[in-house]
């Protein structure tokens, strides 16, 4: 499984909700517009494809930031607590 931060800036509220729901299908919300996803290469393609079909390419942006195992283990937060990274977390997609 590969890990990514998926971050987005969506200008339309309807598209924003669709993007958030799609990301929830693949990962865990870390902040309002930031998700941690752990997916197989096939599921990564599915995620990108679904988001591509939702967003307006001229107005919106979605970033896929690949994360290494060591980067995940070094994750720090200040302010509100965040869930610790667990390499045994599993995402189930129905």
Residue positions in the annotated binding site for Mg(2+)?
A: 9
Q: What is the 3-state secondary structure (H, E, C) of the chain?
A: CEEEEEEEECCCHHHHHHHHHHHHHHEEEEECCEEEEEECHHHHHHHHHHHHHHCCCCCCEEEEEEECHHHHHCCCCCCCCCCCCCCCCCCCCC
As annotated, the binding site includes 9
């Amino acid at each position: 499984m590969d890990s990514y931060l998926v971050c987005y800036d969506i200008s339309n509220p309807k598209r924003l909700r669709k993007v958030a729901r799609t990301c929830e299908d693949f990962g865990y919300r870390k902040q309002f517009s930031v998700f941690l996803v752990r997916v197989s290469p096939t599921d990564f393609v599915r995620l990108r494809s679904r988001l591509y079909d939702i967003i307006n390419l001229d107005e919106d942006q979605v970033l896929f930031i690949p994360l290494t195992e060591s980067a995940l283990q070094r994750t720090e937060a200040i302010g509100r607590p965040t869930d610790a990274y667990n390499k045994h977390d599993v995402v189930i997609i129905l």
